[in-house]
C-alpha cells in the first residue's frame, strides 16, 4: 500500500542551454533552451523514497511554472500518499479544478513481468497553460513515488481518470471493457516488448537550424545505427524545405519512412498548398500544420491531404483531453501524439489512450525535450500491452539529447525503446545535473550570464 504523508515539495528551475547548438530548433521555436520545472516530493515514510516529476519548457518562463507549482503545493503538502492515490480521480480534479486557480473501477489488470512500466500493476509502484504544466509536474512526481512504493497489486487504473467532459465519447464502463478485453494476449505482448522493444523514430537528424552537411552526417550515422523512420522539420522556407526533404529522401531511399513537422507555422489554406508541394517526397504525415487549438482546421487539412496519401499528426501542444476528444470526433488527425508533460500526467494521458483506441487512431507519442522519452516510454508500452494491442502504424519519437542527466535513462536498441527495468517513472535527474544547470545560480548559467554581461 502507498505509504507516508507528504512533508516537502520543492520545485527547481533547471535549464539546458541547447539553443547554443540549434538543437531542437523548428519553424516556431528558433532558440529553445530545453528546460524543466523539476519537482521533488518527500514523505515521512521510513522507506526514504522520493518522487520526482518534471514538465517540459523552453527556457524563459520556467520560473512562472515553478511559481505555479508553489501555488498548487498546498493541495499536496501534509496529504497522505495513500489518500491521494486512493482517490486519484478526486485528487486530480482537486488540482485541476481549484475553485480559485482553475480560472486557469474496476480492477482490470493483473500480470507478472520483469520490467518496470509504471502503469503495469506488477511493479512497485483550470487543465491548460502554465497551471496545467505545473499540475503535470506535481502529478508526475506522485506517480513516480507511488510506482516506487507500490507492490504488484492490480490497480484500478480507470479510477484515476477524470471522465468529466469526455463522457459523451468514453464512459468508465467502456474504458474498463477495453482494458479487460486486452487481458488476452498480454503475456505475449510483454514478452515481445522485452525482446524487441517498442519501435521508435528519430528527429535528431533534421532540426531546422542544422546545416545540410550536418544533416547528411547525422543521417548517415542514423542509417548505420539501424534507424528506418526519420522526421524532418519544415515550414519556414519552401525552397529550403524542398532541398532538405529531397536530400533526406535520397539518402534514406524510397522504402524507409519520412515524416514532416511544421510546428504550427501555417494557416489552414497555406498548410494544404505547402504540403501539396512537398507531397513528392512521400511523407507519412505532416505534424502540427497549424494552431494546436484548431480542431476544425486540422479536419479540413486532413480531408485535403488524404488524396495525396499524407496523414495529419498533432497533439504535443494539445492542452487537455477535451481537445483530443474533439480531434478524434472530427476525424482531424490520423496519428495522435500524446505528451507526457503537457497533459495532466498519467491520469489524463490514460483517458486519451483509451479514446484513441475507441476511435481506432494510432498513438505515436511526442518525445525529446528534457526527459520526455524517459516518461513517455511508460505510456506507450502500456498502450501496446493493455490498450491498443497493436503496433500497426505506431512508433514513438526519439531524440538523442540530454539523457545523460537522468538517473534511469532510456535504452534504445535497434531503433526500439527497451522497457525500463527500474521502479518508478524514470523521472529522477542526477543531483549534479540539477545543481549545475539550475537557473540562474547553477555553474553553467552563472558563466553564460556573466559572458552576456548579465
Task: Report if residue 181 touches a second copy, rule: CB under 8 A.
Answer: no
Round to whole Å and give the CA distance between 192 and 320.
31
Q: Which residue, 426, 434, 316, 428, is CA-closest to 374?
A: 426
Task: Report if residue 291 touches a second copy, rule: CB under 8 A.
Answer: yes
Task: Report if residue 167 touches a second copy, rule: CB under 8 A.
Answer: yes
Task: Report if residue 49 touches a second copy, rule: CB under 8 A.
Answer: no
Identity of the residue, 308 or 330, whose beta carbon is nearer to a second copy in the bound complex: 330
Q: For this structure, is 233 an active site residue? A: yes
| Least CB distance to a second copy at residue 388 (A) | 24
Task: Report if residue 295 touches a second copy, rule: CB under 8 A.
Answer: yes
Task: Report if residue 58 touches a second copy, rule: CB under 8 A.
Answer: yes
Round to whole Å and give the CA distance between 224 and 57.
32
Task: Report if residue 172 touches a second copy, rule: CB under 8 A.
Answer: no
Q: Which residue, 261, 233, 232, is CA-closest to 249?
A: 232
Round to whole Å and give the CA distance between 55 and 78.
23
Among the listed residues 23, 231, 233, 405, the single catalytic one is: 233
Task: Report if residue 297 touches a second copy, rule: CB under 8 A.
Answer: yes
Q: Which residue, 400, 414, 395, is CA-closest to 225?
A: 414
| Least CB distance to a second copy at residue 266 (A) | 9
Q: Residue 230 forms beta bridges with which residues?
A: 202, 258
Task: Report if residue 229 touches a second copy, rule: CB under 8 A.
Answer: no
Identity of the residue, 19 or 426, whose beta carbon is nearer to a second copy in the bound complex: 19
Peptide bond into 440 cis (omega under 30): yes
Distances 318 to 46, 65, 76, 244, 420 between C-alpha atoms, Å: 39, 17, 26, 28, 27
Q: How many residues does the chain have?
A: 454
Task: Report if residue 33 touches a second copy, rule: CB under 8 A.
Answer: yes
Task: Report if residue 296 touches a second copy, rule: CB under 8 A.
Answer: yes
Among the listed residues 148, 319, 366, 378, the single catalytic one is: 366
Task: Report if residue 99 touches a second copy, rule: CB under 8 A.
Answer: yes
| Least CB distance to a second copy at residue 291 (A) | 4
| Least CB distance to a second copy at residue 72 (A) | 9
| Least CB distance to a second copy at residue 227 (A) | 27
Task: Report if residue 29 touches a second copy, rule: CB under 8 A.
Answer: yes
**Binding track, positions 59-88, relative to a second copy; x by CB under 8 A:** xxx-xxx-xx--x-----------------
Task: Report if residue 278 touches a second copy, rule: CB under 8 A.
Answer: no
| Least CB distance to a second copy at residue 454 (A) | 11
Instruction: Pick from 22, 28, 411, 448 the residue near a second copy by CB under 8 A.
Output: 28
Identity of the residue, 96 or 182, whose beta carbon is nearer to a second copy in the bound complex: 96
CB 312 within 8 A of CB 332: yes
CB 407 within 8 A of CB 391: no
Q: For this structure, is 366 an active site residue? A: yes
Task: Report if residue 155 touches a second copy, rule: CB under 8 A.
Answer: no
Task: Report if residue 94 touches a second copy, rule: CB under 8 A.
Answer: no
Instruction: Pick from 94, 180, 326, 393 the residue near a second copy by CB under 8 A.
Output: 326
Q: Count of residues binding a second copy (CB under 8 A)?
A: 60
Q: Among 92-100, 106-114, 203-211, 383-391, which window interacts with a second copy (CB under 8 A)?
A: 92-100
**Binding track, positions 120-149, relative to a second copy; x by CB under 8 A:** -------xxxxxxx----------------
Instruction: Pick from 10, 30, 217, 413 the residue near a second copy by CB under 8 A.
Output: 30
Round to whole Å and give the CA distance between 139 and 94.
12
Q: CB under 8 Å, gap of 24 or more: what pairs does 269-278 form?
A: 271/301, 272/300, 272/301, 272/304, 272/305, 274/234, 274/235, 274/238, 274/241, 275/301, 275/305, 275/308, 275/310, 276/308, 277/238, 277/242, 278/234, 278/241, 278/242, 278/245
Task: Report if residue 358 touches a second copy, rule: CB under 8 A.
Answer: no
Task: Report if residue 96 touches a second copy, rule: CB under 8 A.
Answer: no
Task: Report if residue 114 touches a second copy, rule: CB under 8 A.
Answer: no
Task: Report if residue 102 touches a second copy, rule: CB under 8 A.
Answer: yes
CA angle at 338 for the pair 334 and 339, rounded to the nearest 5°? 150
Task: Report if residue 273 touches a second copy, rule: CB under 8 A.
Answer: no
The residue ranges that bind a second copy (CB under 8 A) are 28-33, 56-61, 63-65, 67-68, 71, 97-104, 127-133, 163-168, 267-270, 290-291, 293-297, 300, 317, 319-320, 322-323, 325-326, 329-330
What residues are annotated to the active site? 233, 366
Amino acid at each position: 500500500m502507498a505509504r507516508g504523508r507528504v512533508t516537502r515539495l520543492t520545485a527547481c528551475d533547471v535549464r539546458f542551454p541547447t539553443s547554443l547548438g540549434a538543437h531542437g530548433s523548428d519553424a516556431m521555436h528558433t532558440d529553445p533552451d530545453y528546460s524543466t520545472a523539476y519537482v521533488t516530493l518527500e514523505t515521512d515514510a521510513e522507506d526514504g523514497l522520493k518522487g520526482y516529476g518534471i514538465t517540459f519548457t523552453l527556457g524563459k518562463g520556467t520560473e512562472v511554472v515553478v511559481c505555479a507549482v508553489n501555488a498548487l503545493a498546498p493541495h499536496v503538502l501534509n496529504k497522505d500518499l495513500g489518500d491521494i492515490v486512493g482517490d486519484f480521480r478526486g485528487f486530480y480534479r482537486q488540482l485541476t479544478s481549484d475553485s480559485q486557480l482553475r480560472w486557469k473501477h474496476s480492477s482490470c489488470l493483473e500480470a507478472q513481468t520483469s520490467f518496470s512500466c509504471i502503469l503495469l500493476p506488477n511493479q512497485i509502484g483550470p487543465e491548460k497553460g502554465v497551471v496545467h504544466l505545473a499540475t503535470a509536474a506535481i502529478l508526475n512526481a506522485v506517480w513516480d513515488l507511488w510506482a516506487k512504493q507500490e507492490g504488484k497489486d492490480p490497480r484500478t487504473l480507470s479510477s484515476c481518470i477524470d471522465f468529466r467532459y469526455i463522457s459523451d465519447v468514453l464512459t468508465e464502463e467502456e474504458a474498463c471493457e477495453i482494458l479487460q478485453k486486452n487481458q488476452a494476449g498480454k503475456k505475449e505482448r510483454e514478452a515481445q516488448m522485452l525482446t524487441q522493444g517498442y519501435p521508435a523514430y528519430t528527429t535528431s537528424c533534421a532540426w531546422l537550424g542544422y546545416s545540410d552537411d550536418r544533416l547528411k552526417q547525422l543521417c548517415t550515422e542514423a542509417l548505420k545505427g539501424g534507424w528506418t523512420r526519420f522526421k524532418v522539420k519544415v515550414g519556414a522556407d519552401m525552397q529550403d524545405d524542398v532541398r532538405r526533404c529531397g536530400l533526406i529522401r535520397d539518402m534514406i531511399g524510397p522504402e524507409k519512412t519520412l515524416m514532416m513537422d511544421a510546428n504550427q507555422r501555417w494557416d489552414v489554406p497555406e498548410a494544404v498548398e505547402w504540403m501539396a508541394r512537398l507531397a513528392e517526397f512521400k511523407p507519412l504525415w505532416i505534424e502540427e500544420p497549424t494552431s494546436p487549438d484548431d480542431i476544425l482546421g486540422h479536419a479540413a487539412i486532413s480531408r485535403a491531404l488524404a488524396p495525396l496519401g499524407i496523414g495529419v499528426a498533432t497533439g504535443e501542444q494539445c492542452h487537455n483531453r477535451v481537445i483530443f476528444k474533439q480531434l478524434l470526433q472530427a476525424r482531424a488527425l490520423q496519428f495522435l501524439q500524446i505528451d507526457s508533460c503537457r497533459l495532466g500526467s498519467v491520469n489524463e494521458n490514460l483517458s486519451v489512450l483509451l479514446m484513441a483506441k475507441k476511435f481506432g487512431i494510432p498513438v505515436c507519442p511526442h518525445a525529446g525535450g528534457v526527459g520526455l522519452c524517459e516518461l513517455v516510454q511508460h505510456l506507450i508500452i502500456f498502450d501496446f500491452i493493455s490498450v491498443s494491442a497493436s503496433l500497426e502504424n505506431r512508433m514513438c519519437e526519439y531524440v538523442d539529447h540530454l539523457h545523460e542527466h537522468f538517473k534511469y535513462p532510456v535504452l534504445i536498441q535497434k531503433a526500439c525503446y527497451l522497457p525500463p527495468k527500474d521502479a518508478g517513472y524514470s523521472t529522477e535527474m542526477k543531483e549534479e545535473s540539477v545543481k549545475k544547470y539550475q537557473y540562474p545560480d547553477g555553474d553553467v548559467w552563472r558563466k553564460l550570464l556573466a559572458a552576456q554581461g548579465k
